[in-house]
A and B are shown apart, each in its own frame.
Chain A
Amino acid sequence: MVALARLALDEDELLRMARELDAVLGYVASLSRVDTRDVPPTAHVVPLATPLRDDVPSAPLDPDLALASAPEREGSSFVVPKVIEAEEEG
């Protein structure tokens, strides 16, 4: 689960996290007792008609502004460490 969230915890942190989460999960397990047959899950609290945007393009952001906070850039591209093929979508 930690890996799926792209986090890395050391041994101590992992143990503590596991304990804390166990407590929380034990608590939320109480929900299983609630009778929810035929109850629809809430999609949205305030029902709305679907807002649609007209297909009109706006001026794009100045690339320098888009990249202004980039930790690493080259030209107008963002740069990241190389992706190893086995990692694709992993």
Chain B
Amino acid sequence: MSAPPHPDYEVVIGLEVHAQLRTRSKLFSPAPVTYGLPPNHAVHPICLALPGVLPVLNGGAVELAIRVALASHCEIQSRSVFARKNYFYPDLPKGYQISQYEEPIATGGWLDVRVDGNGARRRVRLTRIHMEEDAGKSIHDAAIAGGATHVDLNRAGVPLLEIVSEPDLRSPVEAAAYLRALRSLLRYVDASDADLERGNFRCDANISLRRHGESRLGTRTELKNLNSFRFVEAALEAEIRRQARILDDGGRVVQATLHFDPQSGRTRVLRLKENADDYRYFPDPDLVPLVLSDAQIERVRSTLPELADARCERFVLEHGLAEEDARLLCESRALADFYEAARTRHGDADVAKWIRRDVLHALAEHGLEIEASRLAPEALADLVDAVRSGRVTAQSARALVPELVLSGGDPLRLVRERGLEAVSDTSALEAAVDAVLREHASHVERLRAGEVKVRNFLIGQVMKRTGGKADPAALRRVLAQRLGEGAS
């Protein structure tokens, strides 16, 4: 278990994520969902809230919402209601957002999240999942808008899924891990690109502190729009420090919404919750309740890929992988697919170890994910197979992996071109062994005298001499033979 975030207080965190759904058109209008277009180039009268327009629900968005709810073990409501959330803001053209309030599409559910490098997992429960439309963008930047505000409604009406967790998280590290797991899940079922940088995966956090053993929750504050994983952890840590200081001084934490300033590393109160707007929610009379039959839900379930848990179990039972390795590979669909493609090539599940130890390691050094690997799974499998059959040493092969992963290339051709084939040719080996035994005669004496460890030194020297290409098994054989040891 990682160190607790604060010695005196228990930290309680709940996260609210808004993920943009991967539909082609908007939630209630047929306008296209786009990225990077000039302002107001992707709007329809409905997006502009022109007089007389009406919303019609996008069936594709509903399907994606169901996929996410199924993958996170939620209870899908057979009847859910769209409600209007009323407030005024220039990027909210209707003066209300169509969302879901008392009757969301799904409730309950959970995610199992890996919270540290040792495989410890925590089950984080979900409160609810609901659908709502995104607002447009207000640009206050003086460089663009001068002393005014510019409004771009391209994003207005894009479908969002709001996923609310129970306050089950106990540290900033866990919070970041939960977000990664959620992002994985969303991508797993192709519901969202869930790309923080592009703004289609946004997170708000609720955090409070309480003394250990206390059962009542402390007063919580809200941190809004944390738009990178690093910021999430840093912001939460800053807020923990701020709240702890207040409590240490005997003060009371006030409910508020805060912003995180990455420059100063501090959280700043944006507005006090006491002044919260009254949203006057009521069921949208332009829409009818969303009624879903069991048949509809089952049909969506049948289109889902094998979900992470089932796949993980299959890797353990059928491929003989260790549970921890299987879980790791199943954290993302792309990674699990990569592993399976590699394994299928030669039926060798050992590729799992190579993926974890070498491929992922190389990618992590550059902050990349498996999708960025330019080494194809089949090529990796071929390399591993070459090692298994002794054509190349593990050491040589492993050294090639970072380059292959980052720049691509055909592994076996590289081996040939660089002369990395394992030296198992006996005469070459004998020559190398003889040379080493001559040079290190004193070590040979000590070995004969019984210092067993010296053998490894000699092996290492031969390896060096052959540029790491000596096939280990052949090397041992030749060494033993040259030392005059009996047949092994």
In the complex they form, do A and B come into direct contact, defined as C-beta atoms under 8 angstroms apart? yes
Q: Complex: how many Å from CA A54 to CA B62?
A: 11
Contact present for A89 and B151 (CB under 8 Å): no
Q: Complex: how many Å from CA A79 to CA B38?
A: 15
Given A57-B30, A66-B43: A51 in contact with B288 (beta carbons within 8 A): yes
Contact present for B48 and A44 (CB under 8 Å): no
> Could you say which of B58, B151, B271 contacts A77, with CB atoms under 8 Å apart?
B151
Q: Complex: how many Å from CA A85 to CA B277?
A: 15
> Could you say which of A6, A50, A90 contacts B288, with CB atoms under 8 Å apart?
A50
A61: B residues at CB distance < 8 A? 31, 43-45, 48
**Residue of B with least CB distance to A79:** B148
Interface membership of B332, Cβ < 8 A: no
Partner-binding segment picked from B83-91, B208-216, B339-347, B432-440: B83-91
Interface membership of A25, Cβ < 8 A: no
Contact present for A53 and B30 (CB under 8 Å): yes
Contact present for A63 and B40 (CB under 8 Å): yes
Interface membership of A56, Cβ < 8 A: yes
Given A51-B56, A55-B23: A82 in contact with B140 (beta carbons within 8 A): yes
* Binary CB contact string for chain B from 132 to 143 against chain A (1 if under 8 A, 0 otherwise): 000000111000
Contact present for B30 and A58 (CB under 8 Å): yes
Given A50-B290, A79-B150, A89-B89: A66 in contact with B57 (beta carbons within 8 A): no
> Could you say which of A51, A60, A67, A86 contacts B32, with CB atoms under 8 Å apart?
A60
A6: B residues at CB distance < 8 A? 88
Contact present for A53 and B150 (CB under 8 Å): no
How far does the Cβ of B470 sit from chain A's closest Cβ, in whole Å?
60
How far does the Cβ of B382 sit from chain A's closest Cβ, in whole Å?
40
* Binary CB contact string for chain B from 19 to 35 against chain A (1 if under 8 A, 0 otherwise): 00001110000111100
How far does the Cβ of A17 sit from chain B's closest Cβ, in whole Å?
19
Contact present for A57 and B24 (CB under 8 Å): yes
Contact present for B44 and A52 (CB under 8 Å): no
A74: B residues at CB distance < 8 A? 145, 150
B288: A residues at CB distance < 8 A? 43-44, 47-48, 50-51
* Binary CB contact string for chain B from 30 to 63 against chain A (1 if under 8 A, 0 otherwise): 1111000011111111001000000011111110
Contact present for A80 and B151 (CB under 8 Å): yes
Q: Complex: how many Å from CA A51 to CA B98?
A: 16
Q: Complex: how many Å from CA A60 to CA B277?
A: 33
Interface membership of A49, Cβ < 8 A: yes
Interface membership of B278, Cβ < 8 A: yes
How far does the Cβ of B329 sit from chain A's closest Cβ, in whole Å?
32
Interface residue count on the B side (C-beta < 8 Å) = 51
Given A67-B40, A74-B150: A60 in contact with B271 (beta carbons within 8 A): no
> Could you say which of B38, B56, B57, B60 contacts A75, with CB atoms under 8 Å apart?
B38
Interface membership of B291, Cβ < 8 A: yes
**Residue of A with least CB distance to B139:** A77
Tell me the residues in window 64-96 of chain B with beta carbons closer than 8 Å to chain A beta carbons.
81, 87-90
A90: B residues at CB distance < 8 A? 271, 275, 277
Contact present for A54 and B59 (CB under 8 Å): yes
B48: A residues at CB distance < 8 A? 61, 66
Interface membership of B262, Cβ < 8 A: no
> Could you say which of B41, B62, B138, B153 contacts A83, with CB atoms under 8 Å apart?
B138
> Could you say which of B61, B62, B149, B280 contacts A81, with CB atoms under 8 Å apart?
B149
How far does the Cβ of A1 sit from chain B's closest Cβ, in whole Å?
10
Interface membership of A36, Cβ < 8 A: no
**Residue of A with least CB distance to B60:** A55
Contact present for B289 and A43 (CB under 8 Å): yes
**Residue of A with least CB distance to B95:** A6
Given A49-B291, A50-B290, A90-B271: A58 in contact with B57 (beta carbons within 8 A): no
Given A51-B288, A52-B57, A55-B23: A60 in contact with B41 (beta carbons within 8 A): yes
Contact present for B57 and A85 (CB under 8 Å): no
> Could you say which of B24, B38, B275 contacts A56, with CB atoms under 8 Å apart?
B24
Contact present for A60 and B44 (CB under 8 Å): yes
Given A50-B289, A52-B57, A66-B48: A78 in contact with B150 (beta carbons within 8 A): yes
Interface membership of A88, Cβ < 8 A: yes
A-B contact pairs, 22 of them (CB 8 A): A50-B57, A50-B290, A51-B56, A53-B56, A54-B60, A55-B58, A55-B59, A58-B25, A58-B44, A60-B41, A61-B48, A75-B39, A76-B39, A76-B41, A78-B151, A81-B148, A82-B149, A83-B89, A83-B140, A88-B89, A90-B275, A90-B277
Kindly list 19 other residue pairs between chains A and B, CB separation below 8 angstroms, not including A50-B289, A51-B56, A66-B40.
A6-B88, A44-B288, A50-B57, A51-B288, A53-B57, A54-B59, A55-B60, A60-B32, A60-B42, A63-B39, A63-B43, A67-B40, A76-B39, A78-B153, A79-B151, A81-B148, A83-B90, A88-B89, A89-B89
Which A residues fall within an 8 A CB radius of B?
A: 4, 6, 43-44, 47-58, 60-61, 63, 66-67, 74-83, 85-86, 88-90
